[in-house]
Amino acid sequence: MENRKIPYKIYLNEDEMPKNWYNVRADMKVKPAPLVNPGTLQPMTAADLSPVFCDELIAQELDNDTREVPIPEEILGFYKMYRPSPLVRAYCLEEKLQTPAHIYYKFEGNNTSGSHKLNSAIAQAYYAKKQGLRGVTTETGAGQWGTALSMACAYLGLDCKVYMVKVSYEQKPFRREVMRTYGASVTPSPSMETNVGRKILAEHPGTTGSLGCAISEAVEVATSNPGYRYVLGSVLNQVLLHQSVIGLETKIALDKYGIVPDIIIGCAGGGSNLGGLISPFMGEKLRGERDYRIIAVEPASCPSFTRGKFAYDFCDTGMICPLAKMYTLGAGFIPSPNHAGGLRFHGMSPVLSQLYHDGLMEAVSAEQTAVFEAAEFFARTEGILPAPESSHAIKVAIDEAKKCAETGEAKNIVFGLTGTGYFDLVAYEQFNNGTMTDHIPTDEELAVGLNALPPQPTF
Ligand SMILES: *Cc1c(COP(=O)(O)O)cnc(C)c1O
């Protein structure tokens, strides 16, 4: 192995691809806290969840014990259209940084939706179809999740209703048209189609919407139309399970060449790509087989891990969804309009929150302009135009590689490159024009959301 040259891109053959998802919860000594009913403050049962989610996805959500979950044949078939995703050795970046570190990135942007979200979209659409449902509803902010879900629904012949935050609907017409091309109906939120939308519009005429409001509309439509369920693209345990395909492929590719990572880095919005990337490595760590440094990178403008509280909170601003125990800034927190749309959620995956709380991973925050400097450097060096979300991981990978240049250590650094930035050119335009700003909330600003957490369960 030693003298075998590592290729620029490590691909897997079809027969090397993972056949099971890996459920990291099975190896956690302290399990993530259960979802809780906001009315009774008791754990949500499968029956409580069934009006909202598909049955098989509820089972996955509640299953803390099954380690390996077989990936259904139909999903494996869909994965083959765009997977395996390449694990790239960033030779050009290493050269440019003059670092002895070996840098690898797992590139999830090689599909039309442009991100890793398709890995869970196809799974969620598949289980809805298998249950005999007519369609699914969801919200989308920046548009990546809505696009991925539209693609999955088109493939399976499922109806797809997307509630898109109005400001994005207007500012990102191209995303909207991709979704419509794949057959989804896209409604700007708040809309006049739902009770909650009408109520919000009456109270706040002219509002440009929020993710929380779009979630509330999508949930209302799912629960009031027979044959529909609601699906969510991040945060939930089931989404991390599906995204484990990222980490499993990464590990198989590294093992082929005997490479052991020292540091694994990912951006964190709701935690799904990072959770998926690290799952098999975290499993080894939890079982005491190996140790890795694992770093979550979040925007300084929406710092759930680094400045949030570990507590039960609502997942939506409409406060109709179950409570989840997670690092949160409060469901009432409204992040400043930064450009990493996919990282603007106030909370964090309960699985990652527990792992972070137990000291099994680290978290850092990065400011927007520094992130775009890293994005530009990466685009000019490795050729790929990265998504602003992904560029948070790039920034910290570069920082760690620079430290290696100082110490002379040849560490193996692996990071998740979650997507491409073709739909984020307004952000790049601001960066290029020098008009991009950094907003870091003050303690007083954060206190508003943090002091308004719901009553905490006592079990
Ligand atoms: C949605 C998104 C993210 C953040 O979501 P996670 O659930 O934290 O992974 C990161 N990168 C891209 C490109 C996205 O679309």
- Are 240 and 275 in contact by the 8 Å Cβ rule? The answer is yes
Nearest Cα to Cα of residue 271 among 352, 377, 201, 363: 352
Q: What are phi and psi of 287, to 5 degrees?
A: -85, 0
Strand order in the sheet with 9-10: 9-10, 87-89, 102-107, 412-417, 263-267, 293-299, 362-366
209: left (phi over 0), alpha (psi -120 to 50) or beta: left
User: Which CATH number is 31-69+117-230's, of 3.40.50.970, 3.40.50.1100, 3.90.1170.50, 3.90.650.10?
Assistant: 3.40.50.1100
Q: Looking at ligand 1, which residue's alpha carbon is closest to its atom 7?
A: 272
Cβ-proximal residues to 19 (8 Å cutoff; 6+ apart), any chain: 70, 71, 76
For the chain, the structural domain boundaries read 9-17+84-114+237-450, 31-69+117-230
Indicate which atom in ligand 1 lies nearest the CA of residue 234: 7
Which one of 144, 231, 395 would you pick to mutate in the ligand 1 pocket, going by the greatest count of ligand atoms within 8 A of its CB?
144
How many Å lie between the centroid of ligand 1 and the Cα of residue 212? 17
Distance CA 4, CA 94 (A): 19
- Model pLDDT for residues 52-110, shown as the tens digit of each residue: 999 999 999 999 999 999 999 999 999 999 999 999 999 999 999 999 999 999 999 99
φ, ψ of residue 362 in degrees (nearest 5): -110, 165
Cα–ligand 1 centroid distance for 238 (angstroms): 15
What's the gap in Å between 5 CA and the centre of ligand 1? 32
Give residue 3 CA to ligand 1 midpoint distance, Å: 36
Question: Do the first three CATH levels of 9-17+84-114+237-450 and 31-69+117-230 match, i.e. the same topology?
Answer: yes
Cα of 266 vs centre of ligand 1, distance in Å, is 10
Asked if 183 contacts 150 with a C-beta cutoff of 8 angstroms, the reply is yes
pLDDT at 2 (0 to 100): 43
| CA–CA gap between residue 125 and residue 267 (Å, rounded) | 25
Residue whose Cα lies nearest atom 3 of ligand 1: it is: 342
264: left (phi over 0), alpha (psi -120 to 50) or beta: beta
Q: How many residues does the chain have?
A: 459
Tell how far the Cα of 392 is from the centroid of ligand 1, in angstroms: 11
Ligand 1 centroid–CA 303 distance in Å is 15
Residue whose Cα lies nearest atom 2 of ligand 1: it is 342
Instruction: Determine which residue's CA is closest to atom 5 belonging to ligand 1.
Output: 269
The rounded Å distance from CA 193 to ligand 1 centre is 28
Q: Which residue out of 175, 272, 361, 424 has the highest number of ligand 1 atoms within 8 Å of its CB and is therefore the one to mutate? A: 272
3-state secondary structure the chain: CCCCCCCCEECCCHHHCCCEEECHHHHCCCCCCCCECCCCCCECCHHHHCCCCCHHHHHHHHCCCCCEEECCHHHHHHHHHHCCCCEEECHHHHHHHCCCCEEEEEECCCCCCCECCHHHHHHHHHHHHHCCCCEEEEEECCCHHHHHHHHHHHHHCCEEEEEEEHHHHHHCHHHHHHHHHCCCEEEEECCCCCHHHHHHHHHCCCCCCCHHHHHHHHHHHHHHCCCEEECCCCCCHHHHHHHHHHHHHHHHHHHHCCCCCCEEEEECCCCHHHHHHHHHHHHHHHCCCCCCEEEEEEECCCCHHHHCEEEEEECCCCCCCCEEEEEECCCCCCCCCCCCHHHCCCCCCHHHHHHHHCCCCEEEEECHHHHHHHHHHHHHHHCCCECHHHHHHHHHHHHHHHHHHHHCCCCEEEEEECEECCCCHHHHHHHHHCCCCCCCCCHHHHHHHHCCCCCCCCC
Mutation pick for ligand 1 pocket among 273, 279, 394, 420 (CB with most ligand atoms within 8 Å): 273
Q: Dihedral angle at the C-alpha atoms of 290, 234, 249, 72, nearest 10 degrees?
A: 120
| Structural contact between residues 83 and 66, judged by C-beta atoms closer than 8 angstroms | no
CB 33 within 8 A of CB 25: no
Antiparallel, parallel or unpaired: β 87-89 and 9-10: antiparallel
Minimal-distance CA residue to ligand 1 atom 1: 342
Within 13 A of 304's CA, how many CA atoms are on the CB side? 35
**CA distance linking residue 55 with residue 170, whole number of Å:** 35
Nearest ligand 1 atom to the CA of 114 is 13
Q: How far is it, in rounded angstroms, from Cα 75 to Cα 310?
A: 35
CATH architecture of 9-17+84-114+237-450: 3-Layer(aba) Sandwich (3.40)
* Positions of the chain with pLDDT under 70: 1-4, 317-318
Residues lining ligand 1, Cβ inside 6 A: 115, 117, 144, 234, 267-273, 342-343, 387, 389-390, 418-419
Distance separating alpha carbons of residues 66 and 402, to the nearest angstrom: 40
Q: Which atom in ligand 1 lies closest to the alpha carbon of residue 390?
A: 11
- The rounded Å distance from CA 421 to ligand 1 centre is 12
Instruction: Pick the atom of ligand 1 nearest to 276's CA.
Output: 9
Contact 230, 145 (CB under 8 A): no
Which one, of 189, 456, 451, 168, lies nearest residue 332 by Cα? 451
The residue to mutate among 111, 115, 140, 165, having the most atoms of ligand 1 within 8 angstroms of its beta carbon, is 115
Measured CA distances, 51 to 47, 54, 88 (Å) = 8, 8, 42
Give the integer Cα–Cα distance in Å for 267 and 295: 9
Q: How far is the CA of 247 from the centre of ligand 1 (A)?
A: 15
In this prediction, residue 433 carries a pLDDT of 97
